[in-house]
Amino acid sequence: MTGRYVLTSNCLQTGSMHLTRSVRQFLQQNQPKVRFLDEDGETYEAVVDWAANQITGLGGYYAKRRLGVNEAIYLRLEGEDIVLEAASLKPPRPRAASEEPKESVPSRRASSPEAERRGFKSESGQQKRIRVTPYPKEVLYPHTPVPLEPPGFAHELERLGFSRESNAAPWRFRAALGRRAYSIALLRLGEGNVMELQEMRSSGVVRYAGIVAPESAREEALGEARSLGLSYVSPEALQKLSRLRTIFPLGALDVERMLQAGRLDLEALESLESEISGLLGERAAFSAVLLSLAEVPSQKVFLLADVMEGVGEMGLDPDSVRQILEVLCGPPFLMLKRLSPGEYLMRSSVEAALEELAQYAQFVGVRVGATAG
């Protein structure tokens, strides 16, 4: 079994490998760890993060081989190990015996068309062929700027609603939030002059400026950022924000809240995760009440105590359940009617009410689409 993997800038920055189809074929479902073996027999214990769709722990191999963006690695299964072989180390394909090198155009010293057809000959009578090697573009055009590959964290910021405004460090990003907008400038730890970040922020070019460094260098980066009045940002935190965005709507406004506090790292994300967990818990409570009401027939009267019996296992308190019932009494649900404190009428069944709500949502969606178009 063999495979091929092409490196991206994010792979090199984080020492990771995405779980592409060619990589997944070497793994078992939910396999937590995998061991790699390089060309010299050195082993690398790597962690398979299925949630993040990547394998981490290969930074040492990338640095050892000095691999770059778009370079390929060949994968081969050997027992329980995956053998790594950088494409740059493979010997060139031998030229077939039938292949002949192309003849270059003879120079002007050829005295006749016949001599041009024969090519040049040395004094010994052997035919010579001239191979011309062009100069590299960097030599011919030394002042032409070469665009840099954007850092890995740029892709995470773009997923969170930012647009990149520069092609070199300091990396500038802009978040357009309707009637509001803000910009941020970032430098990787040791990448450039951090005083430039301070100047950009003080002059109003950007509202926020920060130093990007992995969690392993957090203390060093956080200390330097605080001494200059900058923010600290970790790529791991941006990656986690992108993953959280798949289960809850997050964006540039949430990023700004943490930038205002001076740090965007895994520790700073804990409060946001708790907040999201609470909101998702409220959604779960709402669903539990609906499931309990599904047992009540249409046009029947019931009490708050009846609903509490159905949701008691979730540990919900009566006040939380009462608030949910009050929401269901009003638009757009209109599922219930409050008769007296703690007493309600089931106007229509849960199934019928949700079907009407779906039709209403579809109607509004059509109107919104027509307005946007």
Cβ count within 10 A of residue 112: 8
State yes or no: pLDDT of 90 exceeds 90.
Answer: no
- Residue 1 is encoded by which pair of tokens? 């079994």
State yes or no: pLDDT of 102 exceeds 80.
Answer: no
Q: What is the mean pLDDT of residues 84-89?
A: 85
Q: What is the mean pLDDT of residues 30-41?
A: 90
State yes or no: pLDDT of 330 exceeds 60.
Answer: yes
Q: What is the mean pLDDT of residues 27-52?
A: 89
> What pLDDT score was predicted for residue 2?
84
Q: What is the mean pLDDT of residues 215-233?
A: 93
In angstroms, the CA 255 to CA 160 distance is 8
- Cis peptide bond prior to 235, omega within 30° of 0: no
The most confident of the ranges 108-112, 189-193, 222-226 is: 222-226
Q: Which residue has the higher pLDDT, 79 or 120?
A: 79
Cβ count within 10 A of residue 20: 14
> What pLDDT score was predicted for residue 140?
53
Q: What is the pTM of this model?
A: 0.53
Q: What is the mean pLDDT of residues 214-227?
A: 93
pLDDT in tens, 145-202: 455 678 889 999 999 999 999 988 899 999 999 899 999 999 998 888 889 999 999 9
> What pLDDT score was predicted for residue 18?
86
Contacts 24+ apart (CB under 8 A), 302-310: 302/343, 302/344, 302/346, 303/342, 303/343, 303/344, 304/342, 304/343, 304/344, 305/342
Q: Is 1.10.530 the CATH classification of the domain at 293-372?
A: no
Q: Which residue has the tokens 């539990």?
A: 288
- 169: helix, coil or strand? coil
> What pLDDT score was predicted for residue 144?
47
In angstroms, the CA 355 to CA 56 distance is 46
Q: Are 9 and 171 in contact (CB under 8 A)?
A: no
Q: What is the mean pLDDT of residues 246-270?
A: 94
First to last CA, the chain: 51
- Residue 165 is encoded by which pair of tokens? 């405004």
State yes or no: pLDDT of 115 exceeds 70.
Answer: no
- Sorted by where each begins, the domain ranges of the chain are 2-86, 152-264, 293-372
Q: Which residue has the higher pLDDT, 158 or 3?
A: 158
DSSP at 206: -
pLDDT in tens, 7-34: 887 788 888 998 888 888 888 888 899 9
> What pLDDT score was predicted for residue 150?
82
> What pLDDT score was predicted for residue 320?
92
| Nearest by Cα to 348 from 335, 332, 365 | 335
Q: Which CATH superfamily is domain 2-86 in?
A: DNA-binding pseudobarrel domain (2.40.330.10)
> What pLDDT score was predicted for residue 91?
55
| Nearest by Cα to 191 from 169, 223, 206, 216 | 169
- Residue 166 is encoded by which pair of tokens? 């520069």
Rg of the chain over all Cα atoms, to the nearest angstrom: 32
Question: Taking all residues of the chain, what is their mean pLDDT, rounded to a whole number?
Answer: 85
State yes or no: pLDDT of 118 exceeds 90.
Answer: no
Strands 81-86 and 33-37: parallel
In angstroms, the CA 342 to CA 345 distance is 11
Q: At 226, phi and psi to the nearest 5?
A: -65, -35
Contacts 24+ apart (CB under 8 A), 312-319: 314/284, 314/285, 314/288, 316/285, 316/288, 316/289
Confidence grade of residue 82 (pLDDT, cut at 50, 70, 90): very high
Q: What is the mean pLDDT of residues 115-143?
A: 56
> What pLDDT score was predicted for residue 214?
94
State yes or no: pLDDT of 76 exceeds 50.
Answer: yes
pLDDT in tens, 335-349: 999 999 999 999 999
pLDDT in tens, 55-75: 999 988 998 888 888 888 999
Confidence grade of residue 210 (pLDDT, cut at 50, 70, 90): very high
pLDDT in tens, 126-138: 665 666 666 565 5
In angstroms, the CA 282 to CA 278 distance is 6
> What pLDDT score was predicted for residue 36?
93
> What pLDDT score was predicted for residue 267?
95
* CATH level 3 topology of 152-264: Restriction Endonuclease (3.40.91)
